[in-house]
Amino acid sequence: MKNHIILFLAFVLMVSCEQKPKEFLNVNASVRQNDELSENPLLMKPITSSIQPKNNTMSTLYGNEIAFNYAKENSDSNYPKDAVLYEVTWKQKPDEVWLGGNVPKEIYSVEKIIFNENHLSVYEKYQGKPLKQVKINEEEGNSRKDFIISQKMAVSP
């Protein structure tokens, strides 16, 4: 009888100590397979990030290896041929763990800049669920392209 009680208490202890597994990947803030992007910018190297409190959004500028290495060594905006930049912007939500903090909720937009020869570049914008390329007027595209290209690499120790 004593052994049954000990086994029962051990079982109750094991069950009561079980924790809900924590989610390590914010799936809602990730790129999905059915998005129209040719590659996942979140797998590239981050160059800098920013927060826009008035819009309740946050952004990270990512670059392929060529763009990242250029931004690391140069402070101008003359990215070389085959450099690719992605400005990913998320809507924010309150962090459930860190009081007063915000984390990405879902992707709001992805802006892509591809650099060709002679410092010419192509700007593309993706929005929606799933992310689809949207048409924008040339003036807005040039303005966004100039802003994105002008961002400098974040300084870290």
- Read off the pLDDT of residues 137-147 as tens digits, 9 standing for 90 and up: 999 999 999 99
| 13-33 CB burial, b ≥16 within 10 A, e <16 | eeeeeeeeeeeeeeeebebee
pLDDT of 133 reads 95
Q: With bands split at pLDDT 50, 70 and 90, how would you rate the model's confidence at 100?
A: confident
Can you tell me which residue has the tokens 């990405």? Answer: 104
Q: Where in the chain are the domains?
A: 39-150
Architecture of domain 39-150: 3-Layer(bba) Sandwich (3.50)
Please state the pTM of the whole predicted model: 0.81
Can you tell me which residue has the tokens 């590239």? Answer: 44
pLDDT of 87 reads 97
The pLDDT tens digits for 107-146 are: 999 999 999 988 789 999 999 999 999 999 999 999 999 9
CA distance 136 to 124: 9
Helix (H, G, I), strand (E, B) or coil at 123: strand
- Assess whether pLDDT exceeds 90 at residue 10: no
| Nearest one of 73, 107, 86, 105 to 41, comparing CA atoms | 86
Contact 86, 111 (CB under 8 A): yes
